[in-house]
């Protein structure tokens, strides 16, 4: 797995700093590895810089302080890490039954990574499998792989898409 460390280098929404953008959790908070899809209109695979620019821009669905995922995965499987894994990014929506520090509990419990494009490549699937093993090693617990729509059951999101849904069990078995 090729990893690019993009922590602290991506632009933020005006008024935020890298250190204060998101709350900080402890490793015991992390229960899930949550795949998200990019869902680009034309099926192309954007760069992390393009995705970040959209999410901190005026047309984002929420006023994200910065990138809404811990990182992104390019089509060739390269992992881009945007935040420390203890950052509570706004990834899993606003439908959590409870919140801490005004951020829904699903965001506290999920380690969210977005794959560029609509359907995952085999290289992206391989990176999710590696991430699952890494998170289980770091947290010393079983990590459940749950898609965005599986976590956020009250929203109508299609994320992470049918193609990824069909691979969740395979990633879980890694
Ligand atoms: Zn999503």
* 101-110: pLDDT as tens digits: 999 999 999 9
Residue 98 has a CB neighbour count (10 Å cut-off) of 8
What is the model's pLDDT at position 35? 98
Give the residue numbers spanning the domain of 82: 3-8+24-172
CATH code, domain carrying 94: 3.40.80.10
Q: What is the mean pLDDT of the chain?
A: 95
pLDDT at position 155: 77
46-71 b/e (C-beta count within 10 Å ≥ 16 → b)? bebeebbebbbeeeeeeebbbbbbbb
How many Å apart are CA 134 and CA 154, to the nearest integer? 29
Ligand 1 centroid vs 161 CA: distance in angstroms? 9
Is 59 inside any structural domain? yes
Distance 157 CA to ligand 1 centre (A): 7
- 132, 135, 162, 129: which is closest to 148 by C-alpha? 162
Kindly state whether residue 16 falls inside one of the protein's structural domains: no
113 is a domain residue: yes
In-domain check, residue 17: no
- The model carries a pTM of 0.96
Cα 159 to averaged position of ligand 1 atoms, centre (Å): 5
pLDDT tens digits for range 130-157: 999 999 999 999 999 999 999 987 778 9
Please report whether residue 131 resides in a domain. Answer: yes
The Å distance, Cα 34 to ligand 1 centre, comes to: 8
Q: Where are the alpha helices (DSSP H) in 34-139?
A: 48-55, 105-109, 122-139
How many angstroms separate the alpha carbon of residue 140 from the centre of ligand 1?
A: 26
DSSP state of 29: G
Q: pLDDT, tens digit, for every residue of 30-85?
A: 999 999 999 987 889 999 999 999 999 999 989 999 999 999 999 999 999 999 99
Number of domains the chain contains: 1
Does 93 score more than 90 pLDDT? no
Identify the three-state secondary structure at position 48: helix
Asked whether residue 120 is assigned to any structural domain, the reply reads: yes
**Measured in whole angstroms, how far is the alpha carbon of residue 6 from the centre of its chain?**
14
What the block records as the tokens of 94 is 């606003």
């Amino acid at each position: 797995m090729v990893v690019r460390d993009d922590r602290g280098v991506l632009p933020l929404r005006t008024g935020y700093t890298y250190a204060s953008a998101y709350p900080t959790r402890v490793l015991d908070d992390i229960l899930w590895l949550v795949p998200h899809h990019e869902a680009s209109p034309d099926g192309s695979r954007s760069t992390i810089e393009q995705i970040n620019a959209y999410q901190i821009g005026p047309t984002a669905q929420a006023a994200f302080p910065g990138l809404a995922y811990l990182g992104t995965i390019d089509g060739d499987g390269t992992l881009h890490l945007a935040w420390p894994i203890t950052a509570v990014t706004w990834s899993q929506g606003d439908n959590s039954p409870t919140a801490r520090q005004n951020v829904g509990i699903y965001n506290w419990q999920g380690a969210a990574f977005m794959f560029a494009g609509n359907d995952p490549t085999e290289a992206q699937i391989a990176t999710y499998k590696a991430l699952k093993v890494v998170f289980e090693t770091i947290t010393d617990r079983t990590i459940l792989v749950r898609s965005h729509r599986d976590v956020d059951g009250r929203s109508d999101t299609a994320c992470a898409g049918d193609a990824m849904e069909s691979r969740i069990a395979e990633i879980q078995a890694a």
